[in-house]
A and B are shown apart, each in its own frame.
Chain A
């Protein structure tokens, strides 16, 4: 009789540990699911990144990063437009009046306050991307309310320093990195 009782007791204990084991097993499953999903997500992201990054500028596009321009023939009051990285760059040799006008503007009057001194290190030469900061059109020379540039697309007015004064554009026309290689040559980029 006792042996029978012991038998059932041991059976019950076995069952208990069996159920415990089951509980533990589900937890282990959860861990496996989480780990697999995490590794899978990292793997998928690693596979997706090349697909995304291939759309960024490639080596040949980046290689065309600088342009040298001969500006010796440019007279005061004239502008030339050169292509750099597929974008037009305005190089203007400014007149005395234009410089004075650009430098006399109060900072409070500007939408995007920048000193002309910072935009044109050599006051006679203004070099900037000929790209309207609104939606990328090419502004027209010697036009607009501020005698600088005017964008025909959505009506932004720029002054003689290429700063936005009126219209939907949020920023001044961008001054790229450039330097005078010698007295007659500007290197952009």
Chain B
């Protein structure tokens, strides 16, 4: 990184920067050398930052009108929808924003899986990412409870009851989480507090995530280490800024479609019925982004083991850098891994579909097979593949495949070594 010897041009800038090197940071962020072959799958980091900021801003404004009380929460949400100026817009952006956030984060995670971005030296970036993902799920779950509809209430009941599977202390923990003997007003107020807190924790972790990223620099579609800065890199500004900006615009079109044309399609009609502790809706389903894990929970016939399986399905991702024994990062050069990757994608989609269906008959059978395969992929296929797979030869630089075979290659190499 060349920005360490950055010196502002103006006297005032120098005076300020000597006391707080914010300008050095700004210079680092603009000049940050980025692999020049990054494709559009790499734009989701920026899109996710946008999602987080959108959720925080719309959330703050909603909190000005929302009342966190079991008797008033449902009505206050209707008040936001009908009476508050643009309340409907802000709430629809916030509610659909959660779905868009997860859509983007799943693409971001699967991009990392395809190009091996989680491998050394980027394990810490990956683990921070998994923590962010867990916090996102917690925030989304608690946010869904706040409107105090039927799905809010019973979703909260089912999810908090997962803790009752813990031997001995389980019941005590659940009572403690509820602040009573069932999900009730104390539960609602504490969920509101935590729902307000978590986005700021995520914001802090995002700073660490990006910091950790800027130490080794971005991975890239061919997954090789590159020299920075060199012929293989471009400065973050303007090249990546423009590309990220364009991708963000495309993403916002999808976002706006949901907000303006199908604002309730990702929700459940049951949540427009006020919470009633006496009646459980016929079919309880979590939000779409939690369905694969819900399917895993239900496919295990034992209560404790079901909860353990569901949690391990998420936590197994944290040790992925050590489960994947292959030194080659990008699936482009791993013909077998590439196939298993797409099977995993299909497997997760199948799990998601099964999570939305009733847990019986053929659905249950398919969910069980898919659950077994999910763990097989991470615990058996990935470790073995690293030893057995015949990988394709990897290029020495990003420039090589473009100039490959031509006499320019040698010239380019010489030029590059001169630059260093």
Contacts and interface: CB of A to CB of B under 8 A. Distances in A.
Interface of A: 52, 55-58, 61, 81, 83, 85-88, 134-138, 151-155, 168-170
B180 A152 contact: no
Given A81-B278, A152-B283, A155-B359, A58 B157 contact: no
Given A61-B186, A86-B277, A168-B303, A155 B158 contact: no
A107 B327 CA distance: 58
B279 interface: yes
B158 A168 contact: no
A67 to B, nearest CB: 12
Contact of B154 (A83, A86, A137): A137
Contact of A135 (B157, B180, B184, B301): B157
A86 B302 contact: no
For the residues of B in contact with A, the DSSP-based class is: loop
A153 B303 contact: no
For the residues of A in contact with B, the DSSP-based class is: loop
Given A83-B277, A137-B154, A170-B303, A153 B180 contact: no
Interface residues of B, number: 35
Q: Which of B157, B178, B282 has the most CB of A within 10 A?
A: B157
Contacts of A55: 176-177, 179, 186, 190
3 shortest interchain CB distances as A-B pairs: A86-B182, A85-B181, A136-B161
B157 A56 contact: no
B158 A137 contact: yes
Contacts of B306: 168
A137 B359 contact: no
Contacts, number: 82
Contact of B175 (A56, A81, A134, A136): A56
Interface string B348-369: 0000000000111000000000
Contacts of B359: 154-155
Given A81-B278, A137-B154, A170-B303, A154 B182 contact: no
B49 interface: no
Q: Which of A83, A85, A135, A169 has the most CB of B within 10 A?
A: A135
A59 B360 CA distance: 43
A17 B280 CA distance: 80
A52 B162 CA distance: 20
B334 interface: no
B70 to A, nearest CB: 10
12 contacts: A55-B186, A56-B175, A56-B179, A58-B186, A61-B184, A83-B278, A85-B181, A88-B277, A136-B161, A152-B283, A152-B284, A153-B158
